[in-house]
């Protein structure tokens, strides 16, 4: 029997009608002779609503209770989808992440899957049932508390379950037709990709392309699970994320990210060990620093700028101010109005010149580059937040992606 894992995101299960049509799609796959495990997200914007509710009740941080609250979102969907499937005459059973044996670390809000003991899922399949699993959650076996996997975490649940069950396919059903050359909501000229490599998808996802959670792509790559991203609204072909592709695109796609802020510590003494003094306390406080720029000046001091997730800005700012005082640096300034634009393509490994073309296109649009970072297959630039959609559109067109052809 072929075993398929489906995943349905929030928009795809936003109301009763959509839940019934998701149930129909699952039943169609079951009736074709497949074993089906379906991972579901919270309905619509439910996770955001729950976060908002928590903020109304308390302005303190309650990691354990927050996970108790947020996991409820997916739990609602799983039960409703199972009911809708049963109404179509097919046996279905739903499991929370914990019941499905998804064991995680204990880091509330950012837990990582360490093992999946999928016995109950297998039993359900053996009994001929469709199994529905609540995405985005697991349980820490040490504390026995439920955990969540970070925003977008249902993608990770799906790919990790596909790996644990040695599934034949993992299909991520979402509200767009697949992975596009840029966010189709920002770039109307973006085109759907037929395929791209794990490496490219990982760079795009890490750079803000929210269509897949980065960790789900890591699982796919680690366990060799091709990830098929498709529309939940119609039967289009979608996009396949896999190890290798026929064409080695120089520019596969462009991502942008508005979720970071920039901190600058001025007049940092330019002596050995200073960068360690600045970034060690940030790391200890759990702040994930992304880009770093150090400007050498001539009076023996330097300005250090770096970007952090806006969600960690308060912590990062506090640590930066403490360290600035300790090392006798100057002021700390914060800029929330920044965004990052990133160009990705596996062919950059062998073809040079994309960086200079990217810089020229931004220059021609009078968009100032504040920071730059690269990997062998990626170039990222930080620009002013209010110029980012113009930057993505200009790069998309200037690098030859508008008509679907790569540069």
Positions touching Mg ion (CB under 5 A) are 9, 152
DSSP string, 344-392: E-GGGGT---HHHHHHHHHHHTTPPP-EEEEETTEEEEEEEGGGHHHHH
Name which of ligand ASP, Mg ion, ligand ADP, none residue 185 binds, using a CB cut-off of 5 to 8 Å depending on partner kind.
Answer: ligand ADP
Min dist. Cβ of residue 162 to ligand ADP (A): 16
Name which of ligand ASP, ligand ADP, Mg ion, none residue 136 binds, using a CB cut-off of 5 to 8 Å depending on partner kind.
Answer: ligand ASP
Name which of ligand ADP, Mg ion, ligand ASP, none residue 336 binds, using a CB cut-off of 5 to 8 Å depending on partner kind.
Answer: none
Min dist. Cβ of residue 14 to ligand ASP (A): 12
The answer to whether 30 touches 60, Cβ cutoff 8 Å, is no
Note whether 153 binds ligand ADP by CB under 6 A: no
Min dist. Cβ of residue 190 to ligand ADP (A): 7
- Which residue among 5, 6, 11, 118 contacts ligand ADP (CB under 6 A)? 11
Residue with smaller CB distance to ligand ADP, 44 or 138: 44
Residue with smaller CB distance to ligand ADP, 14 or 92: 14
Chain residue at closest Cβ approach to ligand ASP: 154
Min dist. Cβ of residue 155 to ligand ASP (A): 6
Round to whole Å and give the CA distance between 250 and 349.
Answer: 8
Min dist. Cβ of residue 296 to ligand ADP (A): 36
Residue with smaller CB distance to ligand ADP, 174 or 301: 174
With contacts defined by CB under 6 A, how many residues of the chain interact with ligand ASP?
13
Locate the DSSP E strands across 188-330: 195-197, 227-231, 239-242, 253-257, 260-269, 292-296, 301-309
Min dist. Cβ of residue 176 to Mg ion (A): 11
Q: Phi first, then psi: what are they for 253, rounded to 5°? A: -170, 175
Neighbours of 79 (CB within 10 A): 15
Neighbours of 14 (CB within 10 A): 18
Note whether 73 binds ligand ASP by CB under 6 A: yes
Min dist. Cβ of residue 136 to ligand ASP (A): 4
Report CA dihedral (165, 224, 75, 118) to the nearest 10 degrees: 20
Name which of ligand ASP, Mg ion, ligand ADP, none residue 151 binds, using a CB cut-off of 5 to 8 Å depending on partner kind.
Answer: ligand ASP
Round to whole Å and give the CA distance between 308 and 227.
Answer: 29
Token pair belonging to 403: 């008509």
Helix (H, G, I), strand (E, B) or coil at 207: coil
The contact mask relative to ligand ASP for 120-159 (x = CB under 6 A, - = no) is: ---------------xx--------------xxxxx----
Round to whole Å and give the CA distance between 19 and 40.
Answer: 10
Round to whole Å and give the CA distance between 344 and 6.
Answer: 27
19: Cβ contacts below 8 Å, ≥ 6 apart: 13, 43, 77, 80, 81, 84
Min dist. Cβ of residue 72 to ligand ADP (A): 17
Name which of ligand ADP, Mg ion, ligand ASP, none residue 179 binds, using a CB cut-off of 5 to 8 Å depending on partner kind.
Answer: ligand ADP
Rg (CA), the chain: 23
Buried-state track 94-120, b at ≥16 Cβ within 10 A, e below 16: bbbbbebbbbbbebbbbbebeebebee
Note whether 10 binds ligand ADP by CB under 6 A: yes
Chain contacts with ligand ASP (rule: CB under 6 A): 9-10, 41-42, 47, 73, 135-136, 151-155
Q: Which residues of the chain form contacts with ligand ADP (CB under 6 A)?
A: 9-12, 41, 152, 174-176, 179-180, 182-185, 209-211, 253
């Amino acid at each position: 029997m072929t075993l398929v894992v489906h995943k349905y995101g929030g928009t795809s299960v936003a109301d009763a009608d959509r839940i019934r049509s998701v149930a129909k799609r699952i039943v169609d796959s079951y009736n074709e002779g497949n074993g089906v495990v379906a991972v579901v997200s919270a309905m619509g914007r439910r996770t955001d609503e729950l976060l908002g509710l928590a903020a109304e009740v308390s302005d303190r941080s309650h990691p354990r209770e927050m996970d108790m609250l947020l996991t409820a979102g997916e739990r609602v969907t799983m039960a409703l989808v199972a009911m809708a499937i049963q109404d179509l005459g097919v046996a279905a059973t739903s499991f929370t992440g914990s019941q499905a044996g998804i064991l995680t670390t204990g880091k509330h809000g950012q837990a990582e899957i360490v093992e999946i003991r999928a016995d109950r899922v297998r039993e359900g399949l053996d009994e001929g049932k469709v199994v529905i699993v609540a995405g985005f959650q697991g349980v820490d076996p040490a504390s026995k508390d439920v955990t969540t996997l970070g925003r977008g975490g249902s993608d990770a649940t799906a790919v990790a379950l596909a790996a644990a069950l040695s599934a034949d396919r993992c299909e991520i059903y979402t509200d767009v037709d697949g992975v596009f050359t840029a966010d189709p909501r920002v770039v109307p000229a973006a085109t759907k990709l037929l395929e791209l490599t794990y490496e490219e998808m990982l760079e795009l996802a890490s750079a803000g392309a929210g269509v897949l959670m980065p960790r789900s792509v890591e699982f796919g790559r680690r366990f060799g699970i091709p990830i098929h991203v498709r529309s939940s609204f119609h039967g289009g072909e979608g996009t396949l994320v896999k190890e290798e592709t026929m064409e080695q695109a120089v520019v596969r796609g462009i991502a942008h990210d508005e979720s970071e802020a920039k901190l600058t510590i001025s007049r940092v003494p330019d002596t050995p060990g200073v960068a360690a003094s600045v970034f060690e306390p940030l790391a200890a406080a759990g702040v994930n620093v992304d880009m770093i720029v150090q400007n050498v000046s001539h009076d023996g001091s330097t300005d250090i700028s770096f970007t952090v997730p806006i969600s960690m800005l308060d912590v990062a700012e506090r640590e930066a101010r403490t360290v600035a005082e300790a090392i006798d640096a100057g002021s700390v300034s914060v800029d929330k109005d920044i965004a990052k634009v990133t160009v990705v393509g596996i062919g950059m490994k062998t073809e040079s010149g994309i960086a200079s073309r990217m810089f020229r296109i931004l220059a021609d649009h009078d968009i100032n580059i504040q920071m730059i970072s690269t990997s062998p297959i990626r170039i990222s630039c930080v620009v002013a937040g209010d110029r980012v959609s113009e930057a993505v559109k200009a790069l998309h067109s200037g690098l030859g992606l508008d008509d679907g052809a790569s540069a």
